[in-house]
Amino acid sequence: MFAKIQRIHFVGIGGIGMSGIAEVLLNLGYKISGSDLKRSSVTDHLHGLGATVFEGHSATNIAGAEVVVTSSAINAGNPEVEEARRLHVPVIQRAEMLAELMRLKYGIAIAGMHGKTTTTSMVAAVLAAGGLDPTVVVGGRVDAMGSNARLGRSQYLVAEADESDRSFLKLSPILAVVTNIDREHMDCYRSMHDIKRAFLDFMDRVPFYGIVVACNDDPMLRRLFPKIRRRMVSYGTRKGSDFQVNLKKGGRGAGRPRPALRDDESSSGRSARAGTPVPPQISCFAVQYRGSDLGEFRLHVPGVHNVL
């Protein structure tokens, strides 16, 4: 597709998921246009990168577009979608466009009902710190990137996999991380069984040479382990996890507790009288892989959920 398509139009380009893909495509050299109901800092950012952004939806906005990308928030009666179909211009979901980007890279997709944005950001930060310079599409602004997306120079692409509308079933990552499963998005899923089936289908989309990384601390996800048909490694604080996390004594993953402020201290954490900084909250933990020590780690954010 990318050898032929040059002009791509996004309906709802200001959405956090849409804007990230649009930014990556802009940086790859594609001509990007898009529309949204109102201007925002996100649309202004994309305009500054070279995108043509329309305020409001109109059939004329898609003139010259070779493919139109929509999200689940856009209904079938949208004038731009209707015009695209009248002109036989392909209309695809954002996940299908993300899948095309992922097909060209070593795709790492983060799925789960909670914590996707944080986990995606952390995976991207680890790869970047290791000099691997990943492409990243995340569902929230990452301070280190100054955006919710970046184009890297390596083969790695890290992205969130959105289960809310089943669109994650369009992705085929080489490495799939699943953090948890919960009773959410019941407007899309018929039952808890339906949710579990969708996550199993997502993990089945990993190719035979790929791998699934799944959290052993989540009871609903853990019950699916025998049904996962791809290579899998588990992680968690539970015994039997392939990557076993051991929280250091005193922290319980929450790090050193912050002392209460005295009357002479400010909320910035420094004493107005002595100028002594309050120690930051740190999560301290050790990791073993199938019984072999990998080392001890300090994470400068509190909480077991961040450690995992």
Residue with tokens 């790492």: 108
* Catalytic residue, candidates 160, 163, 170, 179: 160
Q: Is 116 an active-site residue?
A: yes
Helix segments in 205-290, DSSP class H = 219-222
**In this structure, how many other beta carbons lie within 10 angstroms of the beta carbon of residue 272?**
11
Query: Would you state the torsion angle of the CA atoms of residues 68, 69, 72, 77, taken in this order, to the nearest 10 degrees?
Result: -10
Residue with tokens 């790869």: 127
Cβ density class 147-175: b for 16+ within 10 Å, e for less: bbbbbbeeebbbbbbbbebbbbbbbbbbb
* Catalytic residue, candidates 52, 117, 118, 237: 117
Sign of CA dihedral 60, 61, 65, 69: negative
CA pair distance 34, 19, nearest whole angstrom: 9
* Catalytic residue, candidates 70, 116, 119, 120: 116
Q: Is 105 an active-site residue?
A: no
- The DSSP bridge pattern shows strands 106-111 and 175-178 to be parallel
Cβ density class 184-194: b for 16+ within 10 Å, e for less: eeeeebeeeee
C-alpha distances in Å from residue 252, one per residue of 105, 236, 249: 37, 14, 7
CA pair distance 46, 23, nearest whole angstrom: 7
8 Å CB contact between 32 and 8: yes
Q: Is 52 an active-site residue?
A: no
Nearest to 116 by CA among 193, 197, 184: 184
Known catalytic residues are: 116-117, 160
